[in-house]
């Protein structure tokens, strides 16, 4: 007996039909109405809280620098600035790819969204690899987390940030899993995108303070 494997697209989703959003063939939607909170509103409490915690660390970093500017300068000059600036460009590229992925997700362009999320994951891997290379360089140069205050700030701030990158990579992987099933939980993917952009913006400040301002 021949079994027809064709899935009717006009059935509702709960009867096995294709999700309504998947039927759209990359047709642009009207822009979201003004006043839309990306992701869950509760997520923003965490995002702004996390940003403020990092902000407090930044204030303490520059406050402590005022006491021993020479020590901060000498230690900061041991960092690999070119790795810092490359990592900044890599994270900015990843943010752009996440914007592209979210846009494609909202249009129902699953393939395009998958490619963009995969490319963003690749950026995360490049960032982490370059960070490890820099850690090895700093440690081989005789500077560890307890060498002086600058080194403590450097390892704590970049280490916690790297942890955020890894969590973000995990969330991007979860997004990728949703895309394989043509999922359409826009709140979740918006939350993932917001989190990833927070990782990017925190690095922008970390790079400026640790690699440039403290070394000048």
Partner 1 sequence: MSEGIPVRATVIWALLLLATGVTWCLGTDHRANAGGHVLVAMAIPVAFSKVYLIGMEFMEVRTAPRTLRVVFASWVVSFATALTLLYL
CA dihedral 33, 39, 41, 47 (to 10 degrees): -130
Interaxial angle between packed helices 81-107 and 149-180, expressed in degrees from 0 to 180 and rounded to the nearest 10: 20
Q: State the residues that interact with partner 1 by CB under 8 A.
A: 26, 31-32, 34-38, 44, 48, 51-52, 55, 58-59, 62-63, 65-66, 81, 85, 88-89, 92-93, 95-96, 98-100, 103-104, 107, 109, 112, 190, 193-194, 197-198, 200-201, 204-205, 207-209, 211-213, 215-216
> Taking the complex as a whole, how short is the minimal distance between the CB of residue 144 and partner 1, in angstroms?
25
- Residue 64's H or E segment, with its range, is helix 41-67
What is the per-residue DSSP string for 57-111?
Answer: HHHHHHHHHHH-HHHHHHHHTTS-HHHHHHHHHHHHHHHHHHHHHHHHHHHT-HH
In angstroms, give the least distance from the CB of 184 to partner 1.
18
We find the least distance from the C-beta atom of residue 16 to partner 1, in angstroms, to be: 29
Question: From the CB of 55, what's the least distance to partner 1, in Å?
Answer: 5
Nearer residue to partner 1 within complex by CB, 110 or 155: 110
125 vs 216, beta carbon nearer partner 1: 216
């Amino acid at each position: 007996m021949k079994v027809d494997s064709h899935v009717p697209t006009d059935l509702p989703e709960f009867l096995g039909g294709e999700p309504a959003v998947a039927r759209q063939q990359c047709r642009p939607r009207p822009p979201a109405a003004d006043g839309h909170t990306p992701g869950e509103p509760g997520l923003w409490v965490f995002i702004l809280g996390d940003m403020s915690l990092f902000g407090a660390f930044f204030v303490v970093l520059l406050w402590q620098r005022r006491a021993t500017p020479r020590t901060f300068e000498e230690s900061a000059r041991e960092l690999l600035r070119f790795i810092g600036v490359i990592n900044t460009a890599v994270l900015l590229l990843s943010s752009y790819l996440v914007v592209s992925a979210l846009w494609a997700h909202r249009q129902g362009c699953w393939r395009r969204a998958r490619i963009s999320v995969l490319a963003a994951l690749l950026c995360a891997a490049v960032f982490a690899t370059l960070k490890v290379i820099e850690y090895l360089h700093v440690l081989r140069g005789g500077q560890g987390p307890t060498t002086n205050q600058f080194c403590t700030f450097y390892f704590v701030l970049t280490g916690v940030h790297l942890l955020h990158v890894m969590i973000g990579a995990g969330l991007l992987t979860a997004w990728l899993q949703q895309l394989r099933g043509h999922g359409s939980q826009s709140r979740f993917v918006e939350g993932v995108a917001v989190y990833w952009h927070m990782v990017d913006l925190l690095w922008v400040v970390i790079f400026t303070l640790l690699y440039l301002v403290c070394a000048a």
